[in-house]
Amino acid sequence: MAFENIIFEIEKEGIGVITINRPQALNALNEKTISELREAFHKAKFDPQIKVVILTGAGEKAFAAGADINEIQKLNFASGKTFSERGQSLLDFIEGLGKPVICAINGYALGGGCELAMACHIRVAADTAKFGQPEVALGVIPGFGGTQRLARLIGRRHACELVLTGNMISVDEAFRMGLVNKVAPGAQLMDEARKIAASILAKSPLAVHLALASILRGIEVPLAEGLKIESELFARACASEDKEEGTAAFLQKRKPTFKGK
């Protein structure tokens, strides 16, 4: 597929790689880029070849340095609400893709870029990466889910500090807070992301899908309801061909051949 602001590639073993490709603008998320990201993730969701997605940015400076300020300057109440809802819709789609999304954060992840990273399921960051929600310095607030996902990921006290001060934090601070899963040297970032993807790909695709659904659905409801969700999805896994293959392979001391059924 031909895109202007992103690169979409399908690698061997079922890995789809989506790269935001506006390094001259620090990969800022303008409307065109948001639209192309939605199109690429839509393809990734429904392409049976793709089992895991890696999202990253082009260049060494930025993963995505926020939304396009020129576009934000023109927003009013009505257009601002539409802009926010459009961004939230994309990030909700990514989070609910049904396939694991690994974010390889190669540099600045600010504003909408930090929000985009938070919508991914696993985050690996380069040792030079920096994070922040600087919107208050522009007279606005995070609008792509930042006030909601950040507090859920790192707790209210850290989220309040980051959002209300607008300050950037280092990758070490982000790791300490739980915002990123792993830190790697920049030159090894994609290798680390692919290593995680390979580990996921070695498992049952159906079980991965169901486990991800259980986590995402369960985290938004009380524990008792979450346990019911888990039990239902566990039962679905128990009735699958992958369960038969996985348990048989374990008992026979061989590598399983999963079909995702």
| Residues noted as catalytic | 115, 135
Q: Which of 159, 179, 156 is nearest to 109 (CA)?
A: 179
131, two tokens? 């994070």
Q: Identify the DSSP state of 138.
A: G
Residues 6+ away with beta carbon under 8 Å from 98: 45, 209, 212, 213
Residues 6+ away with beta carbon under 8 Å from 92: 119, 145
Distance between CA atoms of 208 and 234, rounded to whole angstroms?
Answer: 11
Q: Are 97 and 45 in contact (CB under 8 A)?
A: yes
Q: What length is written for the chain?
A: 261
Please, what's the largest Cα pairwise distance for the chain? 64
With residue 123 as reference, give the H or E element that holds it: strand 122-126
Helix (H/G/I), strand (E/B), else coil: 234: helix
Q: Which residues pair with 64 in a beta bridge?
A: 109
